[in-house]
Amino acid sequence: MKVLIAEDDLTSRTILKAILTKWGYDVEVTADGKSALSAMLKPDAPQLAVLDWMMPEMDGPAVCQELRKQQRQEPVYLILLTSKDDQQDIVHGLEAGADDYISKPYDTEELRARLYVGKRMITLQNELREREKLQGVLEMAGAVCHELNQPLQSLSGYSELLLMDMNENNIRYQTLKKMKLQVDRVGELTRKIMKITRYQSKPYLSKSRIIDIECASQTQKGDRC
């Protein structure tokens, strides 16, 4: 996960970057609050940030406050790094929009644990967003399939009636039969789409993936899925 470190002290910034890089994070660093805010507003901005309380241009709480005003789609988790230990100061930082804080001098294991909590929270929120998007797509697909069902049933029914009145030797008989089979196939597909209750994908073309309708429409996972 990508993490932003905003710390004006070069030594502290260098140490933090080395520690987080060792833990496997993709680290971006800034030296003042204004630069930190700009970094967090980029399209590929980190979703996790460690912000020093006292910085030039803007302090940590001001950065938190500005970020919370933005209409970001991606969730962010903001940790204030502070030497302040007064309860009112901590309350002020949290009310400004920080999710957590770490007191200086910090313990590395505490820092690791708090970063892990932030990473877990972001992961859960991202998963929830993806589920909500999937749910919206499925609801729209269900509505479309519902509207398609009636005309498909009509086409299938009329095709069946025509086939009943047509001699099998008629050159149009096989063509009409093939048309009915395709209409019934589309009807079966719409019924499966309306039964989708979970996300199940499969490889498609070179590097793409698509919904595995057969598996996703089953109420319970089968052997094939």
85-93 contacts at long range (C-beta below 8 A, 24 or more positions apart)? 92/61, 93/53, 93/60, 93/61, 93/64
> Does residue 180 contact residue 156 with C-beta atoms inside 8 Å?
yes
Say how far apart CA 55 and CA 25 lie, in whole Å.
Answer: 23
Assess whether the previous peptide bond of 75 is cis (omega < 30° from 0): no
Judged against a pLDDT cut of 50, whether residue 5 lies above it is answered with yes
Predicted confidence (pLDDT) per residue in 15-33, tens digit? 999 999 999 999 999 999 9
Judged against a pLDDT cut of 60, whether residue 221 lies above it is answered with no
Predicted confidence (pLDDT) per residue in 95-145, tens digit? 888 999 898 888 899 999 999 999 999 988 888 877 777 777 777 777 888
How would you label 50-63 residue by residue, b for 16+ Cβ within 10 Å and e otherwise?
A: bbbbebeebbbbbb
> Does residue 220 contact residue 195 with C-beta atoms inside 8 Å?
no
Q: What is the pLDDT of residue 14?
A: 93
Give the mean pLDDT of the chain. Answer: 85
Residue type (1 letter), 57: E
Q: Which pTM was predicted?
A: 0.64
Confidence of residue 220 (pLDDT cuts 50, 70, 90): low
Predicted confidence (pLDDT) per residue in 34-69, tens digit? 999 999 999 889 999 999 999 998 999 999 999 998
